[in-house]
C-alpha cells in the first residue's frame, strides 16, 4: 500500500499542529508532504508536490479555501474541507456530497475521511463547479447523490417526491427511476427546503412543481406521475399559503 | 436664509400660543390682524399694520399685495418708516421669485429711506438683504461685507427685533463660510446664531440653523448627525406650519438620503418639497430640488425623466441668474446626456458648468474673504471702544475718524495694514457723503411734490362734492326700481353659495380622514420596524463578540494542548476562554457597563487572538491617566467589532501580520471619551478590493461596521456615540493602515 501524500492548509498554526498530531497518531497511511498557514504560499507549491489528499480550511484571509480551488488547474486529488463554523458552507458541502470535517476534529470522523480518500475518490469538476455556484448565491439546479462508484447528479426538476424508509430516503423521479440514499428525510429536507420543495408529511417531501391536483376534503395530493400523497393536517395551511389557493 | 424687516410680530405670536394645533391658531391670528386692519382708519397705522401682515402672511402673493398697499399709503402720507419696511418686504418677495434686479432696487431704496430717518433696524435689514443678493449672484466677498456691516449695526441695539436680525445675519455669514468649505468657521457662526435665536425663541430661525448645520455634517460625511439635525429641523418647522421652511427641511432630508444613496427615500422627500415649493412659487428652491430629482433619476437609470428634470432645473436657474445654480444644473444635465450617449450636448453642458463654477468658488474669493473677516474683527474691537452711538452721516464720519485715530495709536507697528484701512475709510467717507447729499436733494424734491399733490387733491375733492349732490337725486329714483331685482338675485346667489360651501367641506373632510389614516399606518409600520431592529441588534451584538468561528477555533487550540499533554497551556487557555465568555454574557445583559469591563473583555479577546496567530499579531492598550475606568460607563459591545474588523480585514491580509494600538483618552473638558483603534494593516481601499474579488456570497466574520449598527446602539442605549474612520498613509503616501475613532459623550 502506497503512502497517502497529504497537505494541510489552515491559517491557524494550532489547527495545523493538532491535525498533524491526530494524523500521526491515528492514520499511519498518511505521509505529510506539506503544511501551510498562508494560502498564497500553499498555492505556489501545491501542484509541484502533487498530493493525494488535501485538508483545506475554508475561512482564511487573503484567499479562502474556495478561492484556492478556483486557481488550481489540475485537480486530481481528494479534498477534505475543514471549517470551524460556517453553516452556509456546510450546507453546500452536503448538497454536493463533498467531504468535510468540523473543528475540533473528531478522531473517528477523521479516520473515516482518510479511509475514503484511500479509495482515491476525487471530487468531480461538476461537483466543484456546483459548489462554487452555490457559494456565489446562484440558483441550485442539481443535487449530488453519492453512491458506491462515485457521485450522480440529479436535476431538481426531475424529482417528483422523496419518501422516507427507515434510515434511508427514496427519491422518485419523473421517468420512474428510484434512488435510495443513505440519509434520513430530515437531511434531505435540509438540502431541499430552500428550493421549490415542501415536506407535506412525516414521510414525504414533494416537489411543488409536480403537483397535479389537490383534494382538500381528503387532504390528498395527486402528483404529475399519478402518485397520491397524503398531507399532514398542520401542513395543509402551509401548502395553501405556498400556492395561494383559495 | 433671509429675514424681512419686521420679524417681531410672528415671534410674539409664538410666545403666546400653546403647541397644539399651531397652524390653525396661526390662521386665526392672521384673521385677527386682518380684522384689526379693517377697523383702523389712521393712514400711518394702516401702513404699519399692512407691513405686519405682509411679514406674517404665509402666501407670497398675499405678502406682496399687503406690502404694495403699505407702500402706496406710506408714500401718499409721507410715512418714511412705512415706506422702508414695505420696500424691504416687497424686495423679499421679488427676490424669492427670482426678480433680482427689482429686488435689488427695492432694498437699495429701503436702505436710503431708513438711513434718512435713522431707523437702525431697517438699515441693517436692507444691508442684509443686499448682501443676500450679492451672495446669490456669486459675489460672496461683497455679500459677506454687507452682512458684517449689518451685524455691526444690529449688535448694538439689543431689542427683540434686532436680536432676531443678529440671529439671521450670523446665520448668513455662516452660510458664506459653509459655501467656501470653511466648515469650522461656519459651525462657529451657526452656533452663535443658534444661541441668539434660542434666547428670543425664534423657532423658524432655529429650524433654519439646524438645517444648515445638518448640511455641514452631511458634507463632512457624518450622515447620522446630519440626519438628526435635519429631522429636528423638520419637526420644529412643521409644528409652526411655515411652508417655506417645511419645504427646505424636506429637501434637506432628501439630500442626506441622497448622500447615503438611499434613493427611494431621497426621492420621496424631494417630491414632497417640490410639491410645496411649487405651491409657494419659490423658483429658487424649485430649481434646486428639480436638479436633485434629476440626479437621482439618473442614478436609477431613468434617463428620459432625468433629462426632463435637469433641463427644467437649468432653465429655471438661468431665469434666476444664480451662477451656483446654473453650474450645478448644467453639470447634472451633462451627466444625463453622457449616460444617454448624447456626447455633443454633454460637452456643451460641461463647458457651461466650467464657465459658471469658476465664478462661484475660487481661491481668490476665499482669500479675500479671510481678509475681510480679519478686518471685521478688527473694526469690531475698535468699535467697542467707542461705545453707544447714533449714525447720521456726519456723526458716522466723526466716529470713523475717531476709530481710525485709536487704531493708529494701537497698531503703530502694523503700518501696512493700517494703510489699507485708511484707504477703505476714505472710500467709506466719500460714499457716505455723496449718499447724504443725494438724500437731502431727494428729500427736498419729494417735499415740494407732496405739497403740490395735496393742493391738487383738495380742488378735486370740492368738485366731486358738487357732482355728488346732483347725482344723489337721480339715484334714489333708480334705487326703488332695482330693489326687487336685488332681492331675487340675492336669494339665488345664496342658494348656490351654500350648495358650493357644503360640497367643499364634505370633500375636505374626507380628504383629511384618509390622510390621518395613512399617517397612522405609517406610524405603526415605523414602530414595528424599530422593534424588529431592536431585536436584531441585541442578537447581532452578542453574536459579534461570540463569533462561533472564534469559539470553535479556541476550542480547537485547547484540544491541541491537551493532545500534546501540555496541561499548563491548556489550562491557561481554558481559563481565559471561560473568563471572556462570562464577561461577554454579563456585559450584554446591561445597558451600560464600566470602561473597565469593556476593556477587560477587549484585552481578553485580543490575548486569545494573539494566541491563535502567534507572532503575526501584536497589540497594546494605552489608557491616559485622567480616565476613570471604574466610573465611566459606556454602552456594551461597542468596541470589539471594530477591533475584530481591524484584525481580519486589515492585519491578517498581510503575510507578516501587524499590530493594533488602542488609546483611550478624555476630550472636551472630560465630557467626551475618545477611543482610537489604530492598525497598520493594508488599509480600507485594498481591503475593499480584496473583498470584491471574493466571489462567495457569505462572510461569516465580515463584521458590519456600519453607521447603521452604531445608530441602533445609540437608539437603544440612548447614547450619542459617533465613529470616524481615517485612512493612514506613510511618508511616501502609501496606505499604512486605518484609524477608527469612537467618541462617546459622557453623561
How do residues A146-165 score in pLDDT, each as one tens digit? 777 778 888 888 999 999 88
Q: Among residues B246, B243, B252, which one has the least CA distance to residue B215?
A: B252
Neighbour tally for B575: CB within 10 Å:
10
CA B67/CA B52 separation, integer angstroms = 9
Overall pTM > 0.95: no
Task: Flag if B557 and A40 touch (Cβ within 8 Å).
Answer: no
Which class for B501: exposed (0-12), middle (13-18), buried (19 or more C-beta within 10 A)? exposed
Q: What is the pLDDT of residue B128?
A: 84
In Å, how far is A139's CA from the nearest CA of chain B?
12
Q: Which of these, B563, B564, B651, lies nearest to B606 by C-alpha position?
A: B651
**Cell 480547537 -> residue:** B556
- Rounded to an integer, what distance in angstroms lies between the CA atom of residue B94 and that of residue B90? 6
Chosen domain end from B84, B103, B118:
B118
Task: Kindly state whether residue B18 falls inside one of the protein's structural domains.
Answer: yes
Q: H-helix or E-strand containing B446?
A: helix B415-545
**B655 contacts A18? CB cut-off 8 A:** no
**Cβ-based contacts of A84 with chain B (< 8 Å):** 548-549, 551-553, 556
Three cell numbers, residue B325: 445654480
State whether residue B635 is helix, strand or coil.
coil
Q: For residue B207, tell me if it sits in a domain.
A: no
Residue closest to A146 by CA, chosen among A93, A182, A111, A108: A182
* Separation CA B336–CA B316 (nearest Å): 17
Closest by CA to B712, choosing from B643, B638, B642, is: B638
Distance of CA B421 to the CA centre of its chain: 34
CATH number for position B636: 3.30.565.10
Q: Where does a domain end: B370, B387, B408?
A: B370
Average pLDDT over residues A27-39: 93
Q: Which DSSP letter does residue B705 get? A: -
pLDDT, averaged in runs of 10, over chain B (747 residues): 34 34 68 84 86 80 88 89 87 80 85 85 83 78 85 82 83 83 86 88 85 87 86 86 85 88 86 87 86 88 88 87 81 86 83 71 47 54 47 53 59 54 61 69 72 72 72 69 76 83 81 82 76 61 69 90 90 91 83 88 90 88 91 83 85 87 89 91 80 49 52 72 86 88 84
pLDDT at A119 over 80: yes
Q: Give the structural domain span for B444.
A: 420-544
Tell me which DSSP letter residue A153 carries. Answer: E
Q: Which three cell numbers stand for residue B382?
A: 475698535
The three cell numbers locating residue A89 = 458552507
Beta bridge partners of B618: B659
**Residues B608 and B534 both lie in one domain:** no
Smallest Cβ distance to B696: which of A21, A38, A136? A136
Within 13 Å, how many C-alpha atoms sit on residue B714's CB side? Answer: 18
Pair B502, B632 in one domain: no
Is residue B622 located within the same domain as residue B727? yes
Residue in the block written with cell 485622567:
B626
Q: Is residue B554 part of a domain?
A: no
Point out the residue among A17, A88, A136 whose CB comes nearest to the CB of B695: A136
Q: B617 with B733, same domain? A: yes
**Are B93 and B27 in the same domain?**
yes
Query: For residues B5 and A50, which has the higher predicted lDDT (pLDDT)?
Result: A50
Q: How far is B649 from chain A (nearest CA, A)?
A: 8
Question: Is B430 found in the same domain as B321?
Answer: no
E strands present in B172-231: none
Residue B395: the pLDDT is: 55
Q: Is residue B315 part of a domain?
A: yes
pLDDT grade for A26, boundaries at 50, 70 and 90 = very high
Chain B neighbors of A132, CB-CB under 8 A: 695
| C-alpha distance from residue B226 to each of B221, B254, B263 (Å) | 9, 11, 17
Cβ B37 vs Cβ B30: under 8 Å: no
Angle, helix B548-563 to helix A13-26, in steps of 10 degrees: 50
Q: Do residues B435 and B353 share a domain?
A: no
The residue with cell 488550481 is: A72
When pLDDT is averaged across residues A113-132 and rounded to a whole number, the result is 84
| Residue B746 phi, psi dihedral angles, 5° rounding | -100, 135
| Domain CATH code at residue B43 | 1.25.40.10
Contact assessment for residue A161 and residue A205, using Cβ atoms and an 8 Å cutoff: yes
What length does chain B have?
747
Q: Report chain A residues whose CB lies below 8 A from the CB of B611.
A: 14
List Cα–Cα distances, B140 to B172, B179, B219, B375, B675, in angstroms.
Answer: 11, 9, 20, 16, 40
Residue pair A25/A114 in contact (Cβ under 8 Å)? The answer is no
- Beta strand pairing call for A204-207 and A4-9: unpaired
Closest to B703 (Cα-Cα) out of B635, B632, B626, B650: B650
DSSP per-residue letters across B339-392: HHT-HHHHHHHHHHHHHHHHHHS-HHHHHHHHHHHHHHHHHHHHHHHH-S----
Best residue of B614, B646, B695 to probe chain A, by most A CBs closer than 10 Å? B695
What pLDDT sits at residue B151? 87
* B745 sits in which H/E element: strand B735-745
**Residues A64, B612: C-beta atoms closer than 8 Å:** no
3-class secondary structure, B622: strand
Mutate to test the interface with B, among A11, A64, A84, A90 (most CBs of B within 10 A): A84
Q: What is the pLDDT of residues A55-97, one digit of tens each?
A: 999 888 878 888 888 888 778 899 999 998 877 788 888 878 8
- B449 and B364 inside one domain: no
Residue B259 maps to a domain: no
User: Pick from A77, A82, A167, A154: which is nearest to A122 by CA?
Assistant: A77
Residues B626 and B686 in one domain: yes
Q: Do the Cβ atoms of A135 and B698 come within 8 Å?
A: yes
| Contacts with B322 (C-beta within 8 Å, 6 or more apart), sequence order | B136, B137, B138, B284, B287
Strand locations in B515-604 (E): 593-594
Residue B563 has its nearest CB partner, among A12, A18, A89, at A18
Whole-number Å distance between alpha carbons of A58 and A90: 10
- The answer to whether residue B246 sits within a structural domain is no
* CA diameter of chain B: 130
What DSSP character marks residue B59? Answer: S
Pairing of strands A204-207, A197-201: antiparallel
Per-residue pLDDT at B390: 41
Please, what is the end-to-end C-alpha distance for chain A in angstroms? Answer: 66
Q: Is the pLDDT of residue A42 over 60?
A: yes
CA distance, residue B139 to nearest chain A CA (Å):
53
Average pLDDT, chain B: 78
Q: Please say whether the beta carbons of A202 and A236 come within 8 A.
A: no
Q: Is B130 within the bounds of a domain?
A: no
Count CB-CB contacts under 10 A for residue B324. Answer: 20
Rounded to an integer, the average pLDDT of A168-188 is 86
pLDDT at A29: 93
Coil, helix or strand at residue A230: strand
Strand ranges (E), A109-244: 142-147, 150-155, 159-165, 168-173, 178-181, 197-201, 204-207, 211-215, 220-223, 228-230
Which residues, in sequence order, are bridge partners of residue A171? A162, A179
The closest alpha carbon to B324, from B561, B136, B486, belongs to B136
Residue the block writes with cell 393712514: B43
β-strand B658-667 against B633-634: which pairing, if any? unpaired
- A85/B549 CB distance under 8 A: yes
State residue A166 phi and psi, 5-degree precision.
55, -125
Helix H or strand E segment including B675 = strand B672-679
Does B655 share its domain with B525? no
- Contact present, B683 and B736 (Cβ < 8 Å): yes
Total count of domains within chain B? 4
- B414: in domain: no
Question: What is the distance between the alpha carbons of residues B101 and B107, in angstroms, rounded to a whole number?
Answer: 10
Residue B371 to chain A, least CA–CA distance (Å): 53
Q: Which of B118, B144, B171 is the last residue of a domain?
A: B118
Task: Please indicate, yes or no, whether residues B343 and B454 belong to a single structural domain of this protein.
Answer: no
B700 touches chain A (CB under 8 A): yes
Taking CB atoms and an 8 Å cutoff, what residues of chain B touch A21? 560, 563-564
For range A20-32, the mean pLDDT = 94
Are residue B491 and residue B627 in the same domain, yes or no?
Answer: no
Amino acid at each position: 500500500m502506497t503512502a497517502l501524500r497529504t497537505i494541510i492548509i489552515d491559517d491557524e498554526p494550532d489547527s495545523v499542529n493538532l491535525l498533524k498530531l491526530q494524523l500521526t497518531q491515528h492514520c499511519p497511511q498518511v505521509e505529510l508532504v506539506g503544511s501551510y498557514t498562508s494560502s498564497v504560499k500553499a498555492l505556489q507549491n501545491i501542484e509541484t508536490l502533487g498530493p493525494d489528499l488535501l485538508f483545506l480550511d475554508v475561512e482564511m484571509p487573503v484567499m479562502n479555501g474556495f478561492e484556492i480551488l478556483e486557481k488550481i488547474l489540475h485537480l486530481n486529488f481528494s479534498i477534505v474541507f475543514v471549517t470551524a463554523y460556517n453553516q452556509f458552507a456546510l450546507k453546500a458541502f452536503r448538497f454536493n456530497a463533498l467531504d468535510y470535517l468540523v473543528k475540533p476534529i473528531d478522531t473517528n470522523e477523521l479516520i473515516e475521511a482518510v479511509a475514503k480518500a484511500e479509495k482515491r475518490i476525487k471530487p468531480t469538476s461538476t461537483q466543484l463547479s456546483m459548489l462554487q455556484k452555490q457559494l456565489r448565491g446562484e440558483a441550485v439546479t442539481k443535487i449530488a447523490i453519492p453512491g458506491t462508484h462515485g457521485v450522480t447528479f440529479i436535476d431538481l426538476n426531475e424529482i417528483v417526491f422523496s419518501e422516507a424508509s427507515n434510515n434511508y430516503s427514496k427519491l422518485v423521479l419523473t421517468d420512474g427511476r428510484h434512488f435510495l440514499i443513505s440519509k434520513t428525510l430530515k437531511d434531505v429536507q435540509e438540502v431541499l427546503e430552500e428550493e421549490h420543495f415542501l415536506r407535506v408529511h412525516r414521510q414525504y417531501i414533494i416537489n411543488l412543481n409536480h403537483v397535479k391536483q389537490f383534494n382538500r376534503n381528503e387532504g390528498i395530493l395527486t402528483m404529475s406521475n399519478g402518485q397520491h400523497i397524503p398531507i399532514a393536517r398542520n401542513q395543509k395551511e402551509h401548502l395553501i399559503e405556498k400556492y395561494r389557493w383559495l | 436664509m433671509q429675514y424681512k424687516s419686521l420679524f417681531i410680530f410672528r415671534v410674539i405670536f409664538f410666545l403666546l400660543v400653546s403647541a397644539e394645533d399651531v397652524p390653525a391658531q396661526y390662521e386665526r391670528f392672521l384673521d385677527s390682524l386682518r380684522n384689526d386692519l379693517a377697523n383702523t382708519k389712521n393712514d400711518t397705522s394702516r401702513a404699519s399694520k399692512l407691513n405686519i401682515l405682509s411679514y406674517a402672511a404665509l402666501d407670497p402673493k398675499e405678502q406682496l399685495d399687503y406690502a404694495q398697499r403699505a407702500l402706496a399709503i406710506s408714500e401718499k402720507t409721507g410715512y418714511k418708516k412705512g415706506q422702508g419696511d414695505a420696500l424691504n418686504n416687497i424686495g423679499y418677495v421679488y427676490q424669492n421669485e427670482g426678480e433680482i434686479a427689482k429686488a435689488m432696487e427695492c432694498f437699495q431704496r429701503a436702505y436710503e429711506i431708513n438711513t434718512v430717518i435713522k431707523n437702525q433696524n431697517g438699515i441693517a435689514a436692507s444691508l442684509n438683504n443686499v448682501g443676500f443678493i450679492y451672495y446669490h449672484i456669486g459675489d460672496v466677498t461683497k455679500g459677506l461685507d454687507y452682512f458684517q456691516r449689518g451685524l455691526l449695526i444690529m449688535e448694538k441695539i439689543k431689542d427683540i427685533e434686532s436680536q432676531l436680525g443678529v440671529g439671521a445675519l450670523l446665520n448668513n455669514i455662516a452660510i458664506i463660510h459653509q459655501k467656501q468649505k470653511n466648515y469650522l468657521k461656519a459651525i462657529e457662526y451657526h452656533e452663535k446664531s443658534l444661541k441668539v435665536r434660542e434666547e428670543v425663541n425664534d423657532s423658524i430661525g432655529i429650524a433654519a440653523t439646524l438645517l444648515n448645520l445638518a448640511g455641514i455634517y452631511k458634507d463632512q460625511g457624518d450622515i447620522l448627525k446630519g440626519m438628526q439635525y435635519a429631522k429636528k429641523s423638520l419637526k420644529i418647522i412643521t409644528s409652526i406650519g411655515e411652508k417655506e421652511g417645511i419645504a427646505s427641511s424636506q429637501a434637506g432630508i432628501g439630500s442626506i438620503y441622497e448622500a447615503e444613496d438611499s434613493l427611494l427615500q431621497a426621492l420621496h422627500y424631494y417630491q414632497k418639497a417640490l410639491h410645496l415649493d411649487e405651491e409657494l412659487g419659490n423658483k429658487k428652491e424649485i430649481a434646486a430640488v428639480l436638479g436633485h430629482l434629476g440626479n437621482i433619476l439618473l442614478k436609477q437609470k431613468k434617463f428620459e425623466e432625468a433629462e426632463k428634470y435637469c433641463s427644467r432645473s437649468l432653465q429655471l436657474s438661468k431665469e434666476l441668474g444664480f451662477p451656483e445654480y446654473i453650474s450645478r444644473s448644467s453639470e447634472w444635465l451633462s451627466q444625463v446626456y453622457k449616460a444617454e450617449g448624447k456626447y455633443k450636448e454633454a460637452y456643451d453642458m460641461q463647458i457651461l458648468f466650467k464657465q459658471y463654477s469658476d465664478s462661484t468658488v475660487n481661491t481668490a474669493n476665499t482669500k479675500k474673504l479671510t481678509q475681510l473677516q480679519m478686518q471685521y474683527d478688527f473694526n469690531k474691537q475698535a468699535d467697542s471702544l467707542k461705545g453707544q452711538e447714533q449714525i447720521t452721516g456726519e456723526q458716522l464720519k466723526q466716529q470713523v475718524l475717531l476709530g481710525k485715530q485709536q487704531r493708529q495709536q494701537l497698531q503703530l507697528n502694523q503700518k501696512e495694514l493700517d494703510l489699507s484701512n485708511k484707504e477703505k475709510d476714505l472710500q467709506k467717507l466719500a460714499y457716505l457723503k455723496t449718499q447724504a447729499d443725494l438724500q437731502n436733494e431727494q428729500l427736498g424734491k419729494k417735499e415740494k411734490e407732496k405739497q403740490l399733490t395735496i393742493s391738487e387733491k383738495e380742488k378735486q375733492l370740492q368738485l366731486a362734492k358738487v357732482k355728488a349732490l346732483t347725482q344723489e337725486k337721480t339715484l334714489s329714483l333708480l334705487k326703488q326700481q332695482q330693489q326687487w331685482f336685488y332681492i331675487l338675485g340675492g336669494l339665488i346667489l345664496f342658494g348656490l353659495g351654500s350648495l358650493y360651501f357644503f360640497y367643499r367641506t364634505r370633500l375636505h373632510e374626507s380628504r383629511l380622514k384618509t390622510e390621518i389614516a395613512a399617517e397612522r399606518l405609517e406610524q405603526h409600520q415605523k414602530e414595528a420596524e424599530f422593534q424588529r431592529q431592536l431585536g436584531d441588534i441585541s442578537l447581532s451584538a452578542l453574536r459579534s463578540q461570540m463569533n462561533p468561528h472564534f469559539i470553535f477555533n479556541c476550542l480547537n487550540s485547547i484540544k491541541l494542548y491537551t493532545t500534546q499533554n501540555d496541561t499548563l497551556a491548556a489550562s491557561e487557555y481554558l481559563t481565559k476562554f471561560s473568563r471572556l465568555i462570562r464577561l461577554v454574557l454579563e456585559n450584554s445583559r446591561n445597558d451600560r457597563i464600566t470602561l473597565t469591563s469593556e476593556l477587560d473583555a477587549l484585552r481578553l479577546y485580543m490575548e486569545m487572538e494573539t494566541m491563535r496567530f502567534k507572532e503575526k499579531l501584536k497589540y497594546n492598550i494605552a489608557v491616559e491617566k485622567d480616565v476613570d475606568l471604574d466610573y465611566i460607563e459606556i454602552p456594551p459591545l461597542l468596541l470589539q467589532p471594530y477591533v475584530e474588523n481591524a484584525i481580519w480585514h486589515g492585519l491578517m491580509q498581510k503575510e507578516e501580520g501587524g499590530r493594533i494600538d488602542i488609546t483611550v483618552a478624555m476630550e472636551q473638558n472630560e465630557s467626551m471619551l475618545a477611543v482610537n483603534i489604530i492598525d497598520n494593516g493594508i488599509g480600507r481601499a485594498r481591503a475593499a478590493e480584496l473583498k470584491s474579488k471574493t466571489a462567495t456570497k457569505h462572510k461569516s466574520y465580515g463584521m458590519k461596521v456600519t453607521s447603521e449598527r452604531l445608530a441602533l446602539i445609540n437608539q437603544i442605549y440612548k447614547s450619542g456615540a459617533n465613529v470616524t474612520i481615517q485612512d493612514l498613509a506613510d511618508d511616501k503616501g502609501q496606505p499604512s493602515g486605518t484609524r477608527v475613532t469612537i467618541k462617546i459623550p459622557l453623561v
